Amino acid sequence: MADLAEEEMDNPTFRSDTVLSDVHLRCPSKRHLMVRLNAVGQPVFLSYFKLLWSTEDLASGKHVREITTGREQQSRSGDELCDQDRSNVKEGELNSEGVEALLDDDGDLEVVRRPRGASDLQAEDLLRDIVCPVILMKGKEDAFEDEEQECTCSDVVKIEHTMATPLEDVGKQVWRAAFLLADHILFQRDTFRGCSVLELGGGTGITSIIMGTVAKRVYCTDVGDDLLAMCEQNVALNKHLMEPGDPEAPYSWSEEEIADLLDHCSVIMAADVFYDDDLTDALFRTLYRITHNLRNSCTVYLALEKRLNFTLRHMDITCEAYSHFRNTLTDLENLQDGKMKYTVEHIKPDFCQFLVYERIEQLELWKIMAEHLT
């Protein structure tokens, strides 16, 4: 873990109040108890995220598809019922009064909701059976002894995180885009095997930890001692998955590490750090400086979630942060400085899902090839 200097990431100004990650809302009905308070008094939770494969599958390179299958089943059943509803309307099953039959005494529309089919419930049960995290409470070792034994295997990632913070501390929460990028890493393990990787805005470190299971070396960076302490704790919690590094000084760069990064880094990644325009600008400036100084060309992976908000300025639902990201991405691709060439590619998020989260359509993954021209 390392701290990025302010001159690298600038000093963005945030304009929002408390924000909440909804990743934990996918938890089953188990204990939602904190393990400690961090240095600024925020509750910290410990979650166990299970990778959806067996030890045999990991060795053979197979990918588990239970989640996809369950959702496909759920989607098919819903589509079939929707088709049936549409055919009923076409066949004139509404009575002669037409739409008026759907109104109550006050003239309000009475919407008849489709009853949930057995397949829907079965699909949900399937998700519930294999969903993680399980959130534990500090102490009570006897109550969690079995879970501790179960979660020391190679298919569980342990992450300490918060659930709600001010905007400047959102790195302490777990976000869906980090899961999407982690899924891509696990799906393309051979691509990243043996690489030296730099993560910008690593937050809790979950994506770097996943990358650490395949890459040769991972530099996980962010800003703030409290956040980096949480990330360091998460690395220590997952020593069963990888071999943690041993920095000479906490959260700092040695000359050897800087030289190694510049000489060997071939992958840069960032997940869900495009929610503020100033931060987006700062990150792209940092990307340009780093890729310009690397000895070799590299590949950049950017994962994000498009967040829709109603704005008074437009009096409409917009996605301003995403629009700014796309404009900045286009500017980078069109950059002509005679030194670097950037090629942008959108990666369709239809690869296997190894972690349990809601892969909504607003999640996106982008790939940038950064090549030296001279």
Instruction: Return d(Cα 196, Cα 267) in angstroms, integer.
Output: 7
Could you write out the DSSP letters of every residue in 154-177?
A: TTEEEEEE-SEE-GGGGGGS--HH
Assigned token pair, 246: 């041993």
Amino acid letter at 41? G
DSSP state letter for 23: G
Cβ 58 vs Cβ 155: under 8 Å: yes
List of E strands, the chain: 2-3, 19-20, 36-37, 43-50, 135-136, 156-161, 164-165, 196-199, 217-222, 265-271, 298-305, 309-311, 316-318, 340-347, 363-372
| Residue 10, pLDDT score | 53
Rounded Cα–Cα distance for residues 152 and 141 (Å): 15
Query: Averaged in consecutive runs of 10 residues, what is the pLDDT profile of the chain (374 residues)?
Result: 56 63 59 77 89 56 38 38 42 43 59 54 47 42 46 79 90 95 97 97 97 96 93 93 78 92 98 94 97 97 88 72 96 95 97 91 97 91
The letter for the amino acid at 239 is K
End-to-end Cα distance, the chain = 32
* CA 24 – CA 199 distance, rounded (Å): 23
10 Å CB burial of residue 2 (0-12, 13-18, 19+) is buried
| pTM, to two decimals | 0.73
